[in-house]
Amino acid sequence: MQRLLVTGGAGFIGSNFVHYILEHTNFHVTVLDKLTYAGNRESLKHLDGERLTFVQGDITDAVLVAELVRATDATVHYAAESHNDNSLHDPRPFLDTNIIGTYTLIEAARRYAKRYHHISTDEVYGDLELDDPERFTENTPYNPSSPYSSTKAGSDLLVRAWVRSFGLQATISNCSNNYGPYQHVEKFIPRQITNVIDGIRPKLYGNGQNVRDWIHANDHSSAVLAILEKGSIGETYLIGADGEKNNKEVVELILTHMGLPSDAYDHVIDRAGHDLRYAIDSTKLQTELGWTAQFSNFDAGIEDTIMWYCDNESWWRPQKAETEEKYKEQGQ
Ligand code: NAD
Ligand code: DAU
């Protein structure tokens, strides 16, 4: 495997993966990205031009997708509409990109008998009670809550069906909440860091007790590479790094690291249908593929992420005002 097609490679996790692959392998990477509001060409700047080809295009464009899938050895599919809040206000792009886009890619991978890896989310499993001793495993039944997570669940099921019915050479991974550089300012952690930089109080949805299972984007990348190289066809792997924290704890940590009182935030209107808790059991990935997380210190990871946003204002500044304006209209 020498030539990878990475969809959504100008987005948050996709761009971190491209950086990781260029640093840790000798693969050539072709990025296919539509550059929606969430894609940023700047996230790939300074990378080796000889080993990286950038194509601006839509994953629902069957002719373009077929050409790129045919010319590469494997596809890693990150491209998606990814933000739950947006999916509550305008679900249609989620159906087009997450469902039809995935269908278009797996049809091409089937036609040319190419390896395909599908990036998905722990949100397909719904949510857990705060005191539930169980965590999500590969056997947890699907029970998505939002338009976003239901389209991701639908796309996973398409991949499973293509494996069984057509022998698609596919693997699937479902990962927990990522943090790190290059994440859009609409998302929780970058929103609060850049709010503090701008002198705006962080905004906590509801009572702030909702739990997310945080993993550094680099740990997600190393897990995906392990699955690409050693995973068994047809299998699903859950990716997580034992990083459960409630949102209040995360906001307090950000405020403290940024030199403000830990209670200097506002409570705002809760998200409709807000999932209470996600938690991943990644035993299968660890025992079968020998993967372990490297970024286990969340406190240090948050400090690095704060520093990245302080040092890279030109990267996020163009999106900030519009993003906050949208939240303001929604009372959030
Ligand atoms: P993102 O919104 O930051 O990036 C998505 C990228 O896809 C953007 O560059 C965008 O331009 C591109 N894109 C959107 N529609 C497209 C289309 N029709 N054709 C081509 N490109 C298109 O998303 P992210 O947070 O980096 O998430 C990437 C993937 O990882 C998604 O599949 C998401 O479901 C999954 N995931 C995300 C997380 C997380 O915490 N962010 C956790 C688990 C899984
Ligand atoms: O679990 C994986 C998922 O993580 C991915 O599939 C999604 O693509 C990704 O966006 C993320 O979804 P969440 O909805 O968990 O992430 P978000 O950053 O939007 O919110 C994290 C938590 O913080 C959630 O409980 C809502 C809350 N929140 C969010 C924002 C933007 C706030 O309290 N205040 C905010 O301003």
The predicted-structure confidence for 20-76, as pLDDT tens digits, reads as follows 999 999 999 999 999 999 999 999 998 988 999 999 999 999 999 999 999 999 999
Predicted local confidence at residue 48, as pLDDT: 80
271 has a pLDDT exceeding 90: yes
* Residue 129: pLDDT band with limits 50, 70, 90: very high
Report which of 328, 329, 37, 38 is spatially closest to residue 201, judged by C-alpha positions: 328
4 has a pLDDT exceeding 90: yes
What ligand 1 atom has the least distance to the C-alpha of 79?
7
Catalytic (active site) residue 48 = no
Q: How far is CA 312 from its chain centroid?
A: 20
Mean pLDDT of 9-15: 98
Catalytic (active site) residue 123 = yes
- CA 280, CA 159: separation in Å to the nearest integer? 21
Residue type, 240: G
Ligand 1 centroid from CA 81, angstroms: 6
What ligand 1 atom has the least distance to the C-alpha of 122?
43
Take atom 7 of ligand 2 and give the residue whose Cα is closest. Answer: 82
The predicted-structure confidence for 233-266, as pLDDT tens digits, reads as follows 999 999 999 999 999 999 999 999 999 999 999 9
Question: 166 to each of 9, 66, 269, 310, how far by Cα in Å?
Answer: 27, 17, 46, 49
The predicted-structure confidence for 210-235, as pLDDT tens digits, reads as follows 999 999 999 999 999 999 999 999 99
Residues 96, 102, 105, CA angle at the centre, nearest 5°? 125
**Cβ distance 202 to 251 under 8 Å?**
yes
Take atom 5 of ligand 1 and give the residue whose Cα is closest. Answer: 11
Predicted local confidence at residue 49, as pLDDT: 87
As a whole number of Å, the end-to-end CA separation of the chain is 45
Which pair of structure tokens corresponds to residue 64? Answer: 């373009």
Catalytic (active site) residue 122 = yes
Q: Which of 33, 58, 107, 122 is catalytic?
A: 122
Ligand 1 centroid from CA 120, angstroms: 10
Residues 135, 217, 124, CA angle at the centre, nearest 5°? 40
What ligand 1 atom has the least distance to the C-alpha of 13?
26
Alpha-helical regions (H) of the chain: 12-24, 62-70, 84-89, 92-94, 102-111, 147-166, 188-197, 217-230, 247-257, 283-289, 298-311, 313-329
Which pair of structure tokens corresponds to residue 108? Answer: 């091409």
